[in-house]
Structure 1
Amino acid sequence: MTSWRDRLGTLAHEWLPAEPASAWTALCRPGIRLVPGGEGPRVGRIGGAPAMPAEVAWPEWPGRGPLDFVAAVDCAALPREFSSIPLPGAGTLLFFYFDGFRRGADENALLKDVEGSRVLFVPAGVPVVERTAPEGPVPYPALDLSAEVVPTVPEQEHDLLDQTKVASGESLDEAAEMVELPGGFVGSEVFGVLAAQARGPGREHQVGGFAAPVQGAVENEIAAAVLGDYEDPGRAEEAARWVLLAQIDSDDKAGMIWGDVGMLYWVIRTDDLEAGRFDRARAPCSAADGAVRLTVQCG
């Protein structure tokens, strides 16, 4: 059976020159796709009610109201041999977000406010109860999630495409300038098209790996938010400190629509992830072509 990495390599060498194809596929990281209603063991859930300690307050956006519960991920149930990030060995990650689309909030205000989203970690063995959402949020339909390993690679605007060189001295971005795929995709767009084909069909709910960006690299977004300026000379260095924690796609069956059918991302600094600091989150945004991308920062 063709492996998740083999699929990517086959596509890359079919459409890219040999050197760029090999250099790009070498950057591949496994991502753990969260499949609604899949056949594998349950690793989490989107929607429904979260299991939380009774004494922990439901996260809220002060002055606006309680956050919506988005997803739960059981760290111990994930295929850990394919985890590209240092997740806790056990325990549950709970993801909350104030769904302005459903609840009439100004998304620009939401995405600039650190209280608009939250990640809670519940250690294994801590007593929990299924919690009912406070007045305000209407729970999303609950869908169990199973896991599937998919290949993920840097896509358009990611700094690694500029930093990774081939023997000629060209960067991957430069080497792709003359490549054209059916449909007219050229330049760094090629990497996004090939990456999407390698991942295959399915919702883009995922833990770890590289993000599947709606537009440009989410690491660049968070670095620009931290530094206050996308053109800051330290942006690339700052962006390299961040990894994808999780992403949740718009999903009709779960009643989740992020902006104009966009994607919700949580990213985290590696040192914060290793230390288990999931409690400081904020959400900068970049929007174009009608698709809103939401990136939650921890750290």
Structure 2
Amino acid sequence: MTSWRDRLSALAREHLPAELAAAWTGLFRPGIRLVTDGEGARVGRLGGAPVLPADAQWPEWPGRGPLDFLASVDCAALPRESLSIPLPAAGTLLFFYFDADRRGSDDIPVLEDVDAARVVFVPAGGPSAERAAPDGLDPYPARDLFGEVVATAPEREHILLDQTRTASGETLDEAAEEVQIPGEFVGSEVFGELAAQARGRGPEHQVGGFAAPVQGAVENEIAAHVLGGYRDPGLAEEAAQWVLLAQIDTDDEADMIWGDAGMLYWVIRSDDLEAGRFDRARCTLQCG
């Protein structure tokens, strides 16, 4: 069996100077890509109806209405030996979001709208049942998800590119300044391009690992919101506290379209994740 990191490592060695490739590949984390055409046990589902505890209310954005149910992830079914984040051994994560475009609403969520997206954790073994969507919501088509372990890496302004050094003492950002790969990608852009080549085509739904940002690092975006701006001297320290819980990509077959072919990201502070405080996860949208 080949290693989950082999393809991206080979691309790094092919296109980057040896010292830079060695330093960058040392940062790789496994991510669990969620695909609809995989093999093995089902690890979740896109769309359909969520299984909620009997006494749970359907999540809503106060004043705007109920949230759309996007996906479920069965924590016990994931390939746990490849998880980069400490998820519960059992139970289900449910992801909800207010899809303004799909329902023809002008109330498009922004990062400040914390109630416009929600993560609900349903413990295993308790009384629960499949719940139909509230009146007026059109569920996304149900599609089973399977897990594939993929290599993920810091890219697009991630703080680790400034904090990690090559054997010669340069940061990864500094060492990449003179690098260019086919397609006119230069400097730190090469990290994102190589990661994208390794991921291949298809929607990039994922649990754990590094985010695949459409724009800048999502951790920086969240940290800037928490601190009140990108100029705060504590930005890097704050950004380091946040990790990717999951990302849900634009997926035409699932009728999920986020802005201009964008991506939804749920990130959470490491201490909240370890304590199981999934209600504190934050969602942000990036698109082209």
TM-score tier by shorter-chain length is over 0.9
Structure 1 pair 142/108, CA: closer, same or farther in 2 (3 Å)?
closer
Structure 1 pair 40/5, CA: closer, same or farther in 2 (3 Å)?
same
Specify the alignment match of 1:170 in structure 2.
170
Structure 1 CA distance, aligned partners of 2:104 and 2:4? Answer: 41
Specify the alignment match of 1:125 in structure 2.
125
1:25-80 Cα distance to aligned partner (Å, 9 max, x none):
00000000001132221000010000111210000001100000000000000000
Specify the alignment match of 1:134 in structure 2.
134
Specify the alignment match of 1:192 in structure 2.
192
Structure 2 CA distance, aligned partners of 1:157 and 1:99? Answer: 28
Structure 2 CA distance, aligned partners of 1:208 and 1:103? Answer: 29
* Structure 2 counterparts to residues 42-191 of structure 1, below 5 A: 42-106=42-106, 109-191=109-191
| TM-score under structure 1 length normalisation | 0.93
Specify the alignment match of 1:271 in structure 2.
271
Specify the alignment match of 2:40 in structure 1.
40
Give the deviation of 1:168 after TM superposition. 2.2
Secondary structure of 2:135's aligned partner? coil
Aligned positions, number? 288
Aligned AA for 1:161? L
Structure 2 CA distance, aligned partners of 1:110 and 1:160? Answer: 26
Aligned AA for 1:214? V
Structure 2 CA distance, aligned partners of 1:168 and 1:74? Answer: 44
Aligned residues of 2:35 and 2:145 also touching (Cα < 8 A) = yes
1:239-271 Cα distance to aligned partner (Å, 9 max, x none):
000100000000011000011110000000111
Structure 2 CA distance, aligned partners of 1:37 and 1:284? Answer: 27
Specify the alignment match of 1:7 in structure 2.
7
Give the deviation of 1:279 after TM superposition. 1.6
Secondary structure of 1:100's aligned partner? coil
Aligned residues of 1:33 and 1:148 also touching (Cα < 8 A) = yes
For the aligned residue pairs, the C-alpha RMSD in angstroms reads 1.4
- 5+ residue gaps, structure 1, are 293-299
Specify the alignment match of 2:246 in structure 1.
246
Secondary structure of 1:209's aligned partner? coil
- 5+ residue gaps, structure 2, are none
Aligned residues of 1:43 and 1:147 also touching (Cα < 8 A) = yes
Structure 2 CA distance, aligned partners of 1:15 and 1:114? Answer: 41
Secondary structure of 1:43's aligned partner? strand
Structure 1 pair 141/108, CA: closer, same or farther in 2 (3 Å)?
closer
Aligned AA for 1:207? V
Structure 1 CA distance, aligned partners of 2:85 and 2:266? Answer: 13
Identity level (%): 74
Specify the alignment match of 1:295 in structure 2.
none
1:163-190 Cα distance to aligned partner (Å, 9 max, x none):
1111222111111111111110001110
Structure 1 pair 284/197, CA: closer, same or farther in 2 (3 Å)?
closer
Aligned residues of 2:268 and 2:282 also touching (Cα < 8 A) = no
Structure 1 CA distance, aligned partners of 2:238 and 2:95? Answer: 24
| TM-score under structure 2 length normalisation | 0.96
Structure 1 CA distance, aligned partners of 2:205 and 2:109? Answer: 25
